[in-house]
Amino acid sequence: MSFSVIHNGTLEYLAASCIPVPHAFSTRRGGVSGGYLSSLNLGPHRGDRLENVVENYRILGQAVGFRPEDTVFTWQEHTDVILRVGRTDRGTGLFREQNTICDGLVTDEPGVALCAFSADCTPVLLCDPVKGAIAAVHAGWRGTALGIVKTAAETMAREFGSAPQDIRAAIGPCISQCCFETDADVPEAMLAAFGPEAGAAIERRGEKYHVDLKRMNRLWLERAGVRCIDVSDACTACEPDRFWSHRRAGDRRGSLCAVIVLPGEG
């Protein structure tokens, strides 16, 4: 199992071999946005022109297998809230406001493109090919401490009857342990939530700590019973010319998107 880098003209995105339905983890390459948002900004609230953002979704969607009109966005507030959505929700976030706070989305309806955003935080996509269910999750360090990916897997089990061993998960590009330097509050939150096993994802370096968010989210998925997990080795902070990184650029940056869709118009 692994990640592939896919090029379609100037467009570049990543895909995980364990996910058998159309999906993508975007980079910042291949869009039409300009200036400090150059070029594949997928966040509608980053100061970009809406027509640029819609065109960026058209470009990505044409390559992956969805339309801008199919998308449903999260409203991310670093929670562990997972929202079930369907075909009637399509367009929420891009063409009309998302009014429900949620850091993850689930559906079992074809033609609904679930979108979660990041710019150092951890994007995670889940798919149950047996029940035909998918999820897109944003896991910042607070959401990681809350175990949002475990909540997503449990929501799929509750809403769609997914068995944990059937769920496949892909942990996408995010800030890696090499660059995620923190004070004590972050590792303390991880240890308080997860227990001593979280220590495997924490390294102390002098007065600071380096936390491995990918490993923490993998541990949560394993605790949920998920067995098939792909993990990207890409670090958004190490490659700010390829990925949007809040740590490197602050607010003058665009947004990455992790998107997944069950094929078919529904």
pLDDT in tens, 133-162: 999 999 999 999 999 999 999 999 999 999
Question: What is the Cα–Cα distance from 130 to 143, expressed in whole angstroms?
Answer: 27
Does 182 map to a domain? yes
Residue 266 lies in a domain: no
User: Of 227, 98, 83, whose CA–CA distance to 155 is shortest?
Assistant: 83
The whole-number pLDDT of residue 264 equals 84
Q: What pLDDT was estimated at residue 1? A: 53
Contact, 142 vs 193, CB < 8 A?
no
For residue 110, give every residue at least 6 positions away whose Cβ sits within 8 Å of its Cβ, in sequence order, or none. 132, 261, 262, 263, 264, 265, 266
Residue 67: give its domain's CATH number.
3.60.140.10
Residue 217 belongs to a domain? yes
Q: Which domain holds residue 191?
A: 3-261
pTM, entire model: 0.98
Give Cα 91 to chain centroid, integer Å: 18
Quote the crossing angle between the two packed helices 148-160 and 213-223, to the nearest 10°.
Answer: 30
Residue 194 in any domain: the answer is yes
The count of structural domains within the chain is 1
Query: 124, 154, 122, 151: which is closest to 137 by C-alpha?
Result: 124
pLDDT of residue 223: 98
Residue 7 in domain: yes
Query: Which residue ranges of the chain lie beneath pLDDT 70?
Result: 1, 265-266
| Predicted pLDDT of residue 265 | 67
Any domain includes 126: yes
